A and B are shown apart, each in its own frame.
Chain A
Amino acid sequence: MNQHRNLSDYAIILSGKDNVATALVDLSAGNYISSSGESRTTITVPEDISAGFKLALSDIRKAEPIYKYGYVIGLAKTDIKKGHCVHVHNLLSSV
């Protein structure tokens, strides 16, 4: 499947500052286009992501903050590649 789909049809980015998007529907592995103003980036999602789960919009390095709603929701436990699922296996709460 080399078809490019619009990420905004499948997931929501809640703030311009965010480095994750949240899947609104079950999102299958493949290539997605993320558009923000003039810029368009391709995001390759390696594995299916269920509705409600998050995916990285860019490479996030270990210990870097993860933003959703424009605020930090935790720190990366490991390096996270763009398009990969972000959840408790690679995100650590800072509370």
Chain B
Amino acid sequence: MSTKKELGGWLLASPYLLSAILFFLIPLGWSLSLVFFDWNVISPVRTYVGLGNFREALTSTRVFKAFVNTYKFMGIIVPGVIVASLGLALLVQHLPRGKQFYAVGFFLPYLASGVAVSLVVRGILSYDSAFNEFLRSVFGSSPRWLRDPFWATLVISAMIIWKLSGYYALIFLAGLQGIPRELYEAAALDGAGPLTQFRKITVPLLYPAFYTVLVLSVGLCFGIFTEPYVLTGGGPRFATHTWQLEIYSQAFERFRAGYGATVAVLNAVITFGSILIIRRVVESWGRRLGFR
């Protein structure tokens, strides 16, 4: 009986296990084997370079820019996406009717093609767009949205915030719906205003949602690709260069599979480390709130 049960369990888990082996473990092992070689995947000559790829990556200006830019994006995207998604969740929560309809509506940007959205944004921000014509008529000039390092960073961050807010709002909305109404009623009887209720009840009890959104959004900052690829090519002057752009450029434009794999491994290690630090910080906040 027990063996039958075990077999059934393995059978049910097998599609996941198989896909994990095929699409995760084998590619991971392949990547790890590549990092010690200078190889373009087709040449019969595979040059062993030891830790040479790591030395090159750790002293590369391009990798350094990708590293710095990721935290720059994180500094804008993480707070931005939390404020926007929490705001949306609160808005939907307080709607008298049609909550599901609006929640799904806000989720739609998450499903939109990154390339299509980037092309629309490019049109909106083009020099002769109605938006820029308006800015020039009011302020006398319009920003060089995609050609100035400051504005380009901001535009890409705003696009990602817009894309993710609806999705993360669903996580916050689920958290909000789990907070008992009685707590707010009791607080109101004690004289707590809406702001105090928000600070003392809503925010602490949304800790699990904050935790999830923070970890997801931090991880996402290490995977930014489509928006800078389509809009800026990583420029101007590497201002919007990212880890994924660097991996793509090395592996698929320069055909340096070994070095590309090395950058990917570094990216994975730094992503893992960053998420670990964020988790520790958020968990210490959670412990103070009584969550374990």
Is B truly associated with A? no
